[in-house]
C-alpha cells in the first residue's frame, strides 16, 4: 500500500492577502507546483469563499485558510503561534497583502495604517517565522514593493506622514520600506551564513477594480484605452512574484517586475529602482526603527 503524503512531507508556503487579486493568482500557481498553501487573510468569510473557488479548479490540492490582521501586532503573533503548532517548516513566505488609503488612518498602536500593515506587519511576521525555513536557496522571503517606491523616502522624523501634503505619500513610503527591508534581510542572512533568499518584486499595473466607481462612460473609455496599453491581468501581474519565489536562478536582493512599457506590464525580469532604496545607512536605520515599533528584536 502506498504511503499517504502528509502536510509535513510537502513544501509549505504562506501567501498573505491570498483571497483576491495577485495573492489569489500566486496561491493557485504555488498549488500547481505541489505546495501546501496557507492563505493568510483578515476576512475569513471571503477567504473561505476564495478557497472553495480554488479547490473547484484544483480539487486535489492542499489549501488552508488562517486568520491574520497585519495591522495588529497581537494578531500576527497569534497567527505565528498557530502556524508553528500546525507546521514543522516553511519554504516560501510571500509578503503580498497591502492596503491603500486616500485618507489618514492609524492602527491601534497609533501608527499610520499603510506603514503598519504593508511594512511593519510583514517585518514582524517574517521575524516570527524565519526560524522555520530550511537553510536552502529554495527557501524564499518575497516582499512586494511597488512602482510607487520611486517617489518616496523614509520620513524618519515623521513616520506617520502627518506633515506630508500628498495623499499617496504614506503608501509610497510603505512600499519603499518593503523593498529596503528585503535587501537588509538578505544582508543579515548572508552575515549569519544562511542560504535563505530574501528577494522583492512588484506587479506593475493591473485592473483590479480600479475603475469600478467611475461613471459608466468614463469607465468604458478607460478600460478600452488605458488598460490595454498600460495594465495587465492579475494573472500576468503575479508572474514577477512567482519568478522571485520559484526560479532557481534568483539571487538574494534582486528586485523583479514587468519589463514592458514603464514597467507596467510585460514579461518578468529585473526591475529598476531608486538609488535611495539601495542606501545601506537608510536600511540599517529603518531596521532599527522597525524593531522599536514592533517592540521586539528580529533575530536571524
Q: Whose CA is closest to 101, among 120, 89, 115? A: 115
The catalytically annotated residue of 24, 171, 255, 256 is 171
User: What cell was used for 6?
Assistant: 502528509
Q: What is the DSSP letter of 174?
A: H
Query: Which are the contacts of 53, defined by CB distance < 8 A and separation ≥ 6?
Result: none
Helix axes 21-32, 44-57, angle to 10 degrees: 40
Q: Quick count: other Cβ atoms within 10 Å of Cβ 153?
A: 15
Taking CA atoms, 107 is separated from 113, 115, 117, 294, in Å, by: 5, 10, 9, 12
User: What cell was used for 258?
Assistant: 514587468
**DSSP E strands: which ranges in 104-232?**
140-144, 197-201
User: Could you give the CA distance from residue 163 to residue 267 in angstroms, rounded to a whole number?
Assistant: 38
User: Could you give the CA distance from residue 8 to residue 274 in angstroms, rounded to a whole number?
Assistant: 41
Which pairing describes strands 255-258 and 268-270: parallel, antiparallel, or unpaired? antiparallel
Please confirm, yes or no, whether 276 is among the known catalytic residues: no
Please give the positions annotated as active site: 171
Amino acid at each position: 500500500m502506498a504511503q499517504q503524503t502528509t502536510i509535513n512531507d510537502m513544501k509549505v508556503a504562506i501567501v498573505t492577502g491570498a483571497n483576491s487579486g495577485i495573492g489569489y493568482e500566486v496561491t493557485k500557481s504555488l498549488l500547481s507546483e505541489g505546495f501546501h498553501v496557507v492563505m493568510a487573510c483578515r476576512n475569513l468569510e471571503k477567504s473561505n469563499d476564495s478557497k472553495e473557488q480554488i479547490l473547484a479548479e484544483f480539487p486535489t490540492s492542499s489549501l488552508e485558510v488562517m486568520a491574520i490582521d497585519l495591522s495588529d501586532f497581537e494578531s500576527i503573533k497569534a497567527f505565528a503561534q498557530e502556524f508553528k503548532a500546525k507546521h514543522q517548516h516553511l519554504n516560501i513566505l510571500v509578503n503580498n497583502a497591502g492596503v491603500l488609503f486616500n485618507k489618514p488612518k492609524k492602527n491601534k498602536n497609533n501608527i499610520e495604517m499603510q506603514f503598519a500593515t504593508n511594512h511593519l506587519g510583514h517585518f514582524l511576521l517574517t521575524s516570527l517565522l524565519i526560524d522555520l525555513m530550511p537553510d536552502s536557496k529554495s527557501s524564499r522571503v518575497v516582499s512586494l514593493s511597488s512602482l510607487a517606491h520611486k517617489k518616496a523616502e523614509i520620513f524618519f522624523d515623521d513616520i506617520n506622514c502627518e506633515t506630508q501634503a500628498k495623499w499617496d505619500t504614506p503608501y509610497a513610503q510603505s512600499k519603499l520600506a518593503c523593498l529596503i527591508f528585503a535587501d537588509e534581510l538578505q544582508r543579515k542572512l548572508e552575515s549569519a551564513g544562511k542560504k535563505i533568499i530574501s528577494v522583492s518584486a512588484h506587479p506593475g499595473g493591473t485592473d483590479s477594480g480600479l475603475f469600478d466607481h467611475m461613471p459608466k462612460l468614463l469607465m468604458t473609455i478607460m478600460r478600452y484605452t488605458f488598460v490595454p496599453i498600460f495594465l495587465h491581468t492579475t494573472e500576468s501581474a503575479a508572474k514577477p512574484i512567482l519568478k522571485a519565489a520559484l526560479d532557481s536562478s534568483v539571487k538574494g536582493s534582486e528586485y523583479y517586475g514587468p519589463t514592458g512599457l514603464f514597467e507596467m506590464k510585460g514579461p518578468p525580469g529585473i526591475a529598476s529602482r531608486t538609488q535611495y532604496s539601495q542606501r545601506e545607512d537608510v536600511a540599517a536605520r529603518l531596521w532599527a526603527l522597525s524593531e522599536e515599533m514592533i517592540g521586539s528584536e528580529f533575530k536571524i
